[in-house]
Structure 1
Amino acid sequence: MKTANYAHEIIRELRVAIDTISETEAEQLVDAILAANKVFVSGAGRSGLMGKAFVMRMMHMGINAYVVGETVTANFEKEDLLIVGTGSGETKTLIPVVEKAKALGGTVATVTLSPDSTLGKLADLTVTLAGAPKDQVGGEYNTIQPMGSLFEQAMLLFYDAVILRFMEKKGLNSNQMYGKHANLE
């Protein structure tokens, strides 16, 4: 198959996956971001990379947003929000982070394939994305893509859609956001 054909199939899979996102769950996440003093994002591996891109966009909008574990990350407090991206919802390194955020009185959101997982059950709100598990065993979604690629791509598109919804609610546009774009590059 040609590379372009694979890309078209990936786009088809993403359309199907994105169509399954609950508007109610998405709006709850946008509202939680609006209500939070600070927003923290965590995830392992490629899910973590998607989260870093999301934090960058939130920073461009003037949100106090941080990636958990970075040297410049602020302290987590009661009025803060932790967003965890995790396909399985069972990532062992993320469970203690979520438990600590809950113990500190913050709000936790998960973006996951597995709302009934350990992390899904610990969360105050959950956004369920479609995709296939990394091991391709179980689940109801078939994909030509390896491992968790579909979930991670859907997560990045979802995060960008959350940014657009936030911009709409706050009356922001790209020109205003550009003022916070890095200028030492």
Structure 2
Amino acid sequence: MERIEKMTYLELYELLLEEHRQVFAAQDEMQLESMMKMIIKAARIFVTGCGREGIAARSFAMRLMHLGKETHWLWDDTTPGMQKGDLFIVVNGYGKIGHINYLFDQAGKTGVSRLVITGAPLERTPQEAEYSLFVPACVYKGSDMRVVKSVQPMGNLFEQHLFLLFDIVVMLLTDKMNLTHGQMESRHRNIE
């Protein structure tokens, strides 16, 4: 392949769009359905992640709140304790992020259901989760050979793809929960 530095803007964006198309095509829709059922059923939802994938996770938490789900970003000081009936969504790209694994283990002691979203489902945490969603995009430090490879640095493809995938999930949930965009907008912060 030609060196990235020699590629034009047009060549790069077409290449990146093709990477995302391949990830979407490889996505297991049954896992997405299971994830959505868990979200709908959950009394409360707690979300965590770190780095760029954590930023995508936090944006997902915001949209879940706009859907009317009581949702907490784990690092906020006002986050309550977890309990049975709640859902803990953990984004753990390559499955070996130490403090994320610690939080995952501690949450397991509360009786909460745990969903791990990952690009490395064969690692320890995803295997121990009650549920996992494998996003088949190249992830930073990942070793799963089933992921779509990327010309981008580090975990860019996985991190970018989370934003797109989470937005699609929210759109599907809007329909499944019989909500309108107006109802979502009514929950948007109104003091800006």
Task: Judge same fold: TM > 0.5, yes or no.
Answer: yes
TM-score range, shorter chain: over 0.9
CA distance in 1, matches of 2:79, 2:173: 22
Q: Indicate the SS of the match to 2:98.
A: coil
Match of 2:162 in 1: 155
Residues 132/37 of structure 1: CA separation in 2 closer, same or farther (3 Å cut): same
Could you state the TM-score of these two structures normalised by the residue count of structure 2?
Answer: 0.91
2:66 is matched with 60
- How does 1:73-88 map onto structure 2 within 5 Å? 73-88=79-94
1:14 pairs with one of 10, 13, 20: 20
Q: Residues of 2 paired with 1:70 and 1:4: CA distance? A: 41
> How does the TM-score come out when normalised to structure 1?
0.94
CA contact (8 A) 1:87 1:133 kept: yes
Letter in 2 for 1:162: V
Equivalent positions of 1:30-109 (< 5 A) are 30-109=36-115
Cα RMSD (Å) = 1.5
Shift of 1:136: 6.9
More displaced 10-residue stretch of structure 1: 107-116 or 132-141 = 132-141
**Worse overlay, 99-108 or 71-80:** 71-80
Point out where structure 1 has 5 or more consecutive residues left out of the alignment. Answer: none
Q: Structure 2: which amino acid aligns with 1:94? A: I
CA distance in 2, matches of 1:153, 1:119: 22
> Contact conserved, 1:111 with 1:155, CA < 8 A, in 2?
no
